[in-house]
Amino acid sequence: MKLSDSLRFHPLVRNRCIHAPLLALAALVLWSLAATGALARELPDFTQLAKQYGPAVVNISTRRNAGMAQLPPHFSLPDMPEGSPLNELFRHFFGMPGGPGGPGKLPQRRSLGSGFIIAEDGYVITNHHVVKDADEIVVNLNDRREFKAEVVGSDPNSDIALLKISAKGLPTVKVSRNVEVEVGEWVLAIGSPFGFDHTVTAGIVSAKGRSLPDETYVPFIQTDVAINPGNSGGPLFNLNGEVVGVNSQIYSRSGGFMGLSFAIPMDVAMNVVDQLRATGHVTMGWLGVYIQDLTRELAESFGMDKPKGALVAKVTPGSPAEQAGLLVGDVILSYNGKELENSAMLPHLVGRTAVGEKAELEVLRQGKTQKIPVTIGKLPQEEQIAAQTQPQGPANEAKLGLAVRDLTPQERAQLEIKQAIGVLVTQVSMGPAASAGVMVNDVILMIDGKPVANAAALRQLVAALPPGRSVAVLVQRDNGTRFLPLRIPKK
C-alpha cells in the first residue's frame, strides 16, 4: 500500500479530523524518515573488513643510536653540589654515571609507523622513511607479539621498504595489483597514528595520479581519510577488503591531518617489492630529460590548441633521450600510446618501464608530430630526473625591457654550455620580458626555437618576430633550464 493510501484510510483522515496541510506535513515527515533510513542502509559497513584484516596490520617502532656525546678539547665537567639540577643535565647529555644509554652515549631515538603483512612467512611492507637509518626495527603484532625485523630492501624513490620477521602462519592482507580505484569510492585505513595501535579511519578517494614535490616517480592516490603521524606505511583498503595503497604522506600546515592524505598505489608498491625480494634493490627506467608543464601562452607559442604533454627543457648528455634524438623544445605528447595530460605523468611511466625495454614517444617538433623510438636506460643512483619545478622568472632585449651581453668563455665553461650559444641578462625593466619571468643573470639560449648566438643575434631575432604573438624563450638559471612564454608587444 502506498504512503498516500495509508494516510487516506487512517481513521483520523476518514473522520475528517485532520486538515489537508497537516496531512501533507505528515506525509513529508514520513517520507524524510524513510529516505534517511534508506541512506543509512547505503553507507558502508567496515566492521567485518576491520575484523578480518586488522590482525595483519602491524605497528613498527625503530631505534637509532644518536652517537657519542663529545666534550670540547681540554674541557672537563665541573664538580656540582649533590642534588644540583645541573647534575641531571650533564648525566643526560654527557653520559655521567646513571645517564641514559650509559657513559658517553646519548639516548636512543624512537619512531613509530605502521605496516602490513603480505606473506604468512613474515614479509612486511612499510614506508622507506619509517625505517630509514634505523639500528633496530621492532614489529608489533595485533596479538601483542614482538619480532625484530630485518630490512630486505628499501627504496627512497618510491618510499617503499620490505621487512622480514622470523614467524610462520601469520595473518595476511589481500593485495590488489590491478584493481583501479575510482574517485569518490570509499576506502579504509588501519594504522597507528601517534602510537595508538590499530586505529581505523575511513573516507573517499579524492583524486588519482597526484604528483608531489620531490616525489616524481609515484602517482599518488589522494584521499580524505584521516591520516596522522604513525599511519605511514599502513594499508589503504577498498570495500572488497583489497589493499589498494600504502599510506605515505599528508599535506598539513600544522603537522596533523587537514583533509589531504596520499597513498602509494599497490601496483607501484608491489613492483618495488618484487624487485626487493629478488635482488634487494630497485632499478627504475630513465629517459634523461628535464621537463616542464605547458602554460596556455607556451602552448600557443608552439601552435597547440591547448596545454598538454611534457615540454623538454633540457636533454642530459649521454642519456637515452639524447641517443634517441630528442631535442630541447620538443613536446612529448604520449608515451607508449598513453597520452600525457601533463608533464607529471611522464616520470611515472618511464620509471616503471624495464631497463632496456623500447618505448615509443609521440613528439611535437616545430609544429609537426613524429614518432621517436627510445631504449629506456637505468636511473643513475644520484639522479632525480623529474619535472623540474624551477622558480619562474623574467627574460629578453631592448623593446622587451632587458639588457644582455655575450658570455665569456669562462662563463660558458662554468655554466656547462657546450654550444656557442647564450647571452647573459644584465638588466630587466618593466616590459614583456619581466612579465614572462626573465631575471637578471638568466642566460637566454633560444627564442622561438632558434638558438641565440650573441647579443646582436638576439636583437635580429626579436626584430623579426611578429607583434602580438607569444613565443617560447629558453633560459638557463642556476644550471637548470626552462621555457618562458614571451608575448611580443604590438607596435
Question: Looking at the annotation, which residues are catalytic?
Answer: 129, 159, 232
CB-CB contact of 229 with 235 (8 Å): no
Task: In whole angstroms, give the CA distance from residue 156 to residue 366.
Answer: 38
3-state secondary structure of 491: coil
* CB count in 10 Å sphere of residue 147: 19
Give the cell for residue 107.
Answer: 639516548
Query: Looking at this protein, which amino acid is placed at residue 429?
Result: S
Tell me phi and psi for residue 162, to 5 degrees.
-115, 125
- Residue the block writes with cell 589481500: 174
Query: Looking at this protein, which amino acid is placed at residue 217?
Result: Y
43, with CB counted inside 10 A (0-12, 13-18, 19+), is: exposed
CB-CB contact of 245 with 188 (8 Å): no
Which residues 6+ apart lie within 8 Å of 317 measured at CB?
A: 418
* CB count in 10 Å sphere of residue 164: 18
Beta strands in 192-288 (DSSP E): 199-212, 215-223, 235-237, 242-250, 261-265, 285-286
Percent of residues in the chain assigned helix, strand, coil, to nearest 5: 25, 35, 45
Strand partners, 207: 222
CB-CB contact of 194 with 229 (8 Å): yes
Instruction: Enumerate long-range contacts of 254-260, CB under 8 Å, 24 or more apart.
Output: 255/229, 256/228, 256/229, 257/226, 257/227, 257/228, 259/224, 260/206, 260/222, 260/224
HSE-CB of 223 using CA atoms within 13 angstroms: 31
Taken in order 385, 437, 331, 346, is the CA torsion positive or negative?
A: positive
Strand partners, 443: 424, 476
Which residues 6+ apart lie within 8 Å of 419 measured at CB?
A: 451
**Counting every residue, how long is the chain?**
491
Taken in order 304, 308, 312, 318, is the CA torsion positive or negative?
A: negative
